[in-house]
């Protein structure tokens, strides 16, 4: 396989992209999970699906839009979706979770319309839904590198604000840090990471890569920095194991990565039980 990676550019792209999203998805995921926003990631990924379907449709239908990479339209939809969620959360102050089914079903609804317009499924769409080892282009890779730079730099620079916002939102507001702006930046980052990760794990399984490694990490970490470190470690293991098995068994990597994450989670839970019993 290592020879194959040396030979084929598409494999290099897939593995580099996998390594990158194995870092940024669990990194943001740690904040998402502790803030109990896991479902927001899910809702946004479905909006991203609508964006991708729209991009595929427009690039097929209109020759002057043939250059359009569906990743861009997915990203744009995802960011717009995140703005809508925030808006809905303030409209329905006492039913904040209501924003999630609205956005989630809205995303699928719009997505399905574009898919039907484009005359149903094709392999392209399949790879966006469940990930692909062969579909990542060099252009995708560069875009994903850029996104990950933005994400890592922002989390580094705003770490203590993000931590305080996650740990104690009320205290964050009372102490006078710009909680609203920080939260807004955070949601945009989530939208970007979803767009970056979908090439490998697929739109429908992005949120798994953001939450499952964190769920495992929380079982054994002391403190939040350790939670992030373990999450990234587990994320990397899951992506690598998932990509290798997807390559050899000719499967969609979204499935193998998620199954690998679940295995890690089960192992951690079992190990924890075992050490406690012993």
Partner 1 sequence: MNQPPVIEIKNVSYRYDRDNVLENIQLSVPKGAFLGLVGPNGSGKSTLLKLILGLLKVKEGEVFLFGTPQKSFKNWDRIGFVSQKANSFNTGFPATVYEVVASGLTKKLGLFRRPGSKEKQAIKAAVEAVGMEAFLTRNIGELSGGQQQRIFIARAIVSKPDILILDEPTVGVDSKNVESFYNMLAYLNQQMGITLLLVTHDIGIISDKVTHVACLNKYLHFHGSMQQFETLDEEDLSDLYGHGIHLLDHHHEHQGADV
According to the binding rule CB under 8 A, does residue 222 interact with partner 1? yes
According to the binding rule CB under 8 A, does residue 266 interact with partner 1? no
Residue 176 sits at φ, ψ, to 5 deg, of 90, 10
According to the binding rule CB under 8 A, does residue 226 interact with partner 1? yes
According to the binding rule CB under 8 A, does residue 152 interact with partner 1? no
Residue 221 or 262 with smaller CB distance to partner 1: 221
Please list every residue from 43 through 82 that binds partner 1, using CB under 8 A.
Answer: none
Please state, in angstroms and as integers, the Cα–Cα distance from residue 278 to each residue in 221, 271, 274, following that order: 19, 10, 6
Contacts of 1 (CB under 8 A, 6+ apart): 244, 247, 248
Angle at 238 between CA 234 and CA 243, to 5 degrees: 150
Q: Which of 87, 138, 180, 225 binds partner 1 (CB under 8 A)?
A: 225
According to the binding rule CB under 8 A, does residue 278 interact with partner 1? no
* Minimum CB distance to partner 1, residue 194 (Å): 23
Residue 140 or 161 with smaller CB distance to partner 1: 161
Q: Which two tokens stand for residue 167?
A: 């740990």
* 28: Cα separation from own chain's centroid: 9
* Minimum CB distance to partner 1, residue 235 (Å): 16
Residue 3 or 160 with smaller CB distance to partner 1: 160
* Minimum CB distance to partner 1, residue 1 (Å): 36
**Window of 11-19, 97-105, 140-148, 216-224 that interacts with partner 1 by CB under 8 A:** 216-224
Binding track over 158-187 against partner 1, x by CB under 8 A: xxxx-xx-xxxxxxx-xxxx----------
Residue 164 or 233 with smaller CB distance to partner 1: 164
Q: Which of 4, 112, 157, 266 binds partner 1 (CB under 8 A)?
A: 157
* Minimum CB distance to partner 1, residue 197 (Å): 23
Virtual torsion, Cα 9, 11, 15, 21, nearest 10 deg: 80
Distance CA 11, CA 23 (A): 19
Contacts of 139 (CB under 8 A, 6+ apart): 69
* Minimum CB distance to partner 1, residue 174 (Å): 7
The full length of the chain comes to 278
Q: Which residue is listed with tokens 């282009």? A: 137
Residue 131 sits at φ, ψ, to 5 deg, of 85, 165
Distance CA 165, CA 179 (A): 7
Q: Interface with partner 1 by CB under 8 A: which residues?
A: 34, 36, 157-161, 163-164, 166-172, 174-177, 217-218, 221-227
């Amino acid at each position: 396989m290592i020879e194959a990676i040396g030979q084929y550019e598409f494999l290099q792209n897939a593995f580099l992209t996998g390594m990158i999203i194995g870092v940024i998805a669990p990194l943001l995921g740690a904040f998402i999970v502790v803030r109990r926003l896991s479902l927001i990631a899910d809702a946004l990924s479905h909006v991203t699906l609508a964006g991708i379907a729209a991009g595929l449709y427009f690039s097929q239908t209109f020759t002057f839009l043939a250059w359009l990479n569906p990743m861009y339209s997915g990203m744009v939809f995802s960011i717009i979706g995140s703005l809508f969620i925030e808006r809905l959360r303030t409209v329905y102050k006492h039913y904040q979770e209501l924003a999630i089914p609205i956005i989630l079903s809205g995303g699928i609804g719009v997505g399905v319309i574009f898919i039907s317009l484009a005359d149903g499924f094709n392999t392209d769409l399949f790879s966006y839904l469940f990930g692909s080892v062969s579909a990542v282009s060099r252009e995708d890779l560069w875009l994903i590198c850029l996104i990950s730079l933005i994400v890592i730099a922002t989390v580094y620079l705003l770490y203590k604000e993000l931590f305080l916002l996650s740990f104690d939102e009320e205290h964050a507001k009372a102490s006078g840090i710009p909680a609203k702006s920080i939260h807004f930046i955070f949601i945009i980052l989530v939208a970007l990471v979803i767009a970056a990760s979908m090439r490998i794990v697929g739109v429908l399984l992005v949120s798994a890569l953001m939450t499952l490694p964190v769920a495992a990490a929380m079982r054994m970490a002391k403190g939040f920095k350790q939670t992030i470190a373990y999450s990234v470690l587990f994320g990397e293991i899951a992506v690598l194991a998932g990509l290798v098995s997807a390559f050899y068994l000719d499967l969609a990597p979204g499935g193998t990565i998620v199954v690998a994450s679940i295995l890690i989670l089960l192992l951690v839970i079992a190990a924890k039980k075992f050490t406690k019993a012993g």
